[in-house]
Amino acid sequence: MAYTHKNSKGVTYHLNSKAVVLRGGKEQTIYYFSKDNRPEATDLPDGMNVNENPRNGFLTVSRKK
């Protein structure tokens, strides 16, 4: 089941992930939100939380402090 989050403006976003290769050759997984459901949909990883920008409602994923 993919992770979904409804922001303060009432818009529902779906969490997606993608493996990218950095310039040094290291592979890293990035997480991003979309308004539509995509095949890259994923669950929220352990140790991560969702933050919302209060000015525009954009969502980001970061490590728990």
> Nearest-CA neighbor of 41 among 4, 13, 2?
2
% pLDDT > 90, the chain: 94
Task: Write down the pTM of the prediction.
Answer: 0.88
Rounded Cα distance, 39 and 59, in Å: 19
Residues 3-23 have pLDDT tens digits of 999 999 999 999 999 999 999
> Nearest-CA neighbor of 7 among 40, 31, 35, 32?
35
